Structure 1
Amino acid sequence: MDDAEVLKKRGYIMGINLGEGSYAKVKSAYSDRLKCNVAVKIIDKKKAPRDFLERFLPREIEMLARVKHHAIIKTYEIFETSDGKVFIVTELGVQGDLLEFIKRRGALPEDVARKMFRQLASAIKYCHELDIVHRDLKCENLLLDKEYNIKLTDFGFSRRLARDEDGRVILSKTFCGSAAYAAPEVLQGIPYQPKVYDIWSLGVVLFIMVCGSMPYDDSNIKKMLKLQKEHRVHFPRSKVLSVECKDLIYRMLQPDVTRRLCIDEVLMHVWMQDPKSVSDTTLSKPGESSHHQNQIKALYGKESGPEPSDNEQVIQEERHADLDKLSEQVQRTSL
């Protein structure tokens, strides 16, 4: 029985292809029961490597079944067929992922970035309080719903923290994720604190949000590591950022793991405090347009980003070139 028939029997009408790898693919589908479109990740266990089947897939399924947070993609159903295919049905990020959004629209204004980043940070706080670490935080794993709210996805490298008999966290030795978002201790092959690794990746994500480019060029890992270990963070001259925003990024991109912020410190940072912001713990009711959505539409419109002036054209071209390079980096730099 083909995938479309399997899904049809479960009440789904299969739609377009959203992505495909060597042993997994993601399809859109319409759910008769939910009356909405969903995403379906289909994993062919016959084609998947043993390490993935024995370690990472069971962890991903466990995490998806466990986590329930408004800024984490919702999992509706997980089932397996007799021919060895696993179907994971989740909420659909109808606005695509954050990287594609920034490539189309450019760097985000700080007030918009703050709202999105607060949503992401709240999701990581929720995970860390459950002793769950993501270990693959990157813009491609941050989907946007119809109102441009962040939805964290892809728990393929996530895991529960292991502790020794004294309750101390056992360091991780699995070097996973993408080099462009990886902390220096991970790139150096040093056993690491997984929660602290997540914070570094958050710093990279926030840099991309407000700058529209990567903080480091990973085409030369040795050079990148040198800059990271010297705690050098260069912000583009074309971007005017607040001191508070730069300070938060700088503190997350701290090479000394004993001084890097924890997630509570990230959330308490002065840049994250905005009394006028809409609470990230509430979602708009179906059919209602949130303040967040209206703000983004006002800035960018529905279909296209802001038209650059003649003076901004060169900056726009440089930024898009940086992000095109970023896409190439992400494709080649899985650890």
Structure 2
Amino acid sequence: MDDALVLKKRGYTLGIRLGEGSYAKVKSAYSDRLKSNVAVKIINRRKAPVDFLERFLPRELEILAVLNNRYIVKTYEIFETSDGKVYMIMELGVQGDLLEFIKFRGALPEEVCRKMFRQLSLAVKYIHDLEIVHRDLKCENLLLNKDFNLKVSDFGFSRRCNYDDDGQLALSKTFCGSAAYAAPEVLQGIPYNAKVYDIWSMGVVLYIMLCGSMPYDDSNVKKMLRVQKEHRVDFPRGKHVPADCKDLLYRMLQPDVSKRIEIDDILDHPWLQPSKQKKDCESCSKSSSKIDTKGETKADSRNESRRGLRADTDDEFDSEVLDEGKAEKKGFKSHCTEPTPTRAAGNRRKSSQKVKETIEEGD
């Protein structure tokens, strides 16, 4: 049956296409019940690979059904038709994703980075407390709502944690995600602690927000891995990063998994404290160099630079922080990777930018 007709019968008016993969697509729609726009992820079981149908999809559906956090994209409804199509009605990131946001505006002010990263940290704290891991945290999977608050999306590689008889976390053996955000242990194909893997990916995200570029050049994975294992984190020339923020980055991008910082310690870190956010917001309101959010992000902005990226109520954005300023369209630095399609469900491209997906029983 036609997607538009199926959705119409359930009170949704189908809109534009947001992304498409080999066996899934994402479209916008208007919900008569919610009186707002939503995102609709449509998965065609007949085109999907067996391992996805037997393992990844059931996990994603089960996990989405239990998640309820202000910094995670809401799932309103999931249903399936007799012709093998799964429809997932989800919250729409009306301001696009973090990748688009940074590509369009360049590196973000420190106070904006702190606010967004605290929101990401609260979301990860929430899922880790539920013994759920994401395993694909990256800028493309972090959506922004109308107020530019961050929402974690795409739980296609997520899973519940398992523990052995001694209470030790069972290591993951599915090597998934994007190479640019992958921890050294994942790149090396070593069974890994998935919670610790999420922390590394968070470190990459924070670096991108602060610097407008990737921390490592993944055009040569072997070389990138060597740099990572040396615990080298270089910053763009002329870019000032406060010492406490550098400390947090170094502790997240720690190649020794036994020394990598945990999510509770991230939230307790001095750089991330709400009191510091408040001071930043006060200084930001006096500053004339604010980010302009009046102009909408262009749909084709991702293609303008082919070689780059571009809780509590206290954790929400003050509308003034992201208002009335100038923004330049900036591509990421030349050593960055080409942007991958955003919000494109099912698009697990086999390329040098992706970590090899090695599927083993029991993971």
Under a length normalisation based on structure 1, what TM-score does the superposition of the two structures give? 0.90
Query: CA-to-partner distance for each residue in 1:136-162, whole Å, 9 max, x for gaps?
Result: 000000000000000000000000001
SS of the equivalent of 2:114 reads helix
- For residue 219 of structure 1, what is the aligned residue in structure 2? 219
Distance 2:172 2:72 in 1: 23
List runs of 5+ in structure 1 lacking aligned partners: 285-289, 308-315
Distance 1:116 1:292 in 2: 12
- For residue 48 of structure 1, what is the aligned residue in structure 2? 48
- For residue 204 of structure 1, what is the aligned residue in structure 2? 204
**1:137 is aligned to 2:137:** yes
Do the aligned partners of 2:115 and 2:317 also contact (CA within 8 Å) in 1? no
> Structure 1 stretch 101-110 or stretch 239-248: which is displaced more?
239-248
> Structure 1 stretch 159-168 or stretch 201-210: which is displaced more?
159-168
**1:114 is aligned to 2:123:** no
List runs of 5+ in structure 2 lacking aligned partners: 282-310, 343-348, 356-363
Distance 1:246 1:277 in 2: 17
From 321, 327, 337, the counterpart of 1:295: 321
From 303, 327, 334, the counterpart of 2:339: 327
- For residue 164 of structure 2, what is the aligned residue in structure 1? 164
**Which segments of structure 1 move beyond 6 Å, counting only runs of 4 or more?**
none
Query: CA-to-partner distance for each residue in 1:23-58, whole Å, 9 max, x for gaps?
Result: 000000000000000000000000000000001000
- For residue 273 of structure 2, what is the aligned residue in structure 1? 273
Do the aligned partners of 2:217 and 2:335 also contact (CA within 8 Å) in 1? no
Change (3 A) 1:160 1:328: closer
Letter in 2 for 1:247: D
Q: CA RMSD in A?
A: 2.0
- For residue 313 of structure 1, what is the aligned residue in structure 2? none
Do the aligned partners of 1:148 and 1:292 also contact (CA within 8 Å) in 2? no
From 309, 313, 321, the counterpart of 1:282: 313
SS of the equivalent of 1:123 reads helix
SS of the equivalent of 1:26 reads strand
> Higher helix share goes to which structure?
1
Query: CA-to-partner distance for each residue in 1:79-99, whole Å, 9 max, x for gaps?
Result: 000000000000000000000
Distance 2:198 2:267 in 1: 14
Under a length normalisation based on structure 2, what TM-score does the superposition of the two structures give? 0.83
For residues 42-121 of structure 1, the aligned pairs below 5 Å read: 42-121=42-121
- For residue 8 of structure 1, what is the aligned residue in structure 2? 8
Q: Tell me how far 1:240 sits from its aligned partner.
A: 1.3
- For residue 311 of structure 1, what is the aligned residue in structure 2? none
% identity of equivalent residues? 65
Letter in 2 for 1:293: S
Which gives a bigger RCO, structure 1 or 2 (Cα 8 Å, sep 6+)? 2
Do the aligned partners of 1:103 and 1:212 also contact (CA within 8 Å) in 2? yes
Distance 2:265 2:341 in 1: 30
Q: Tell me how far 1:13 sits from its aligned partner.
A: 0.1
Distance 1:34 1:274 in 2: 32
For residues 244-259 of structure 1, the aligned pairs below 5 Å read: 244-259=244-259
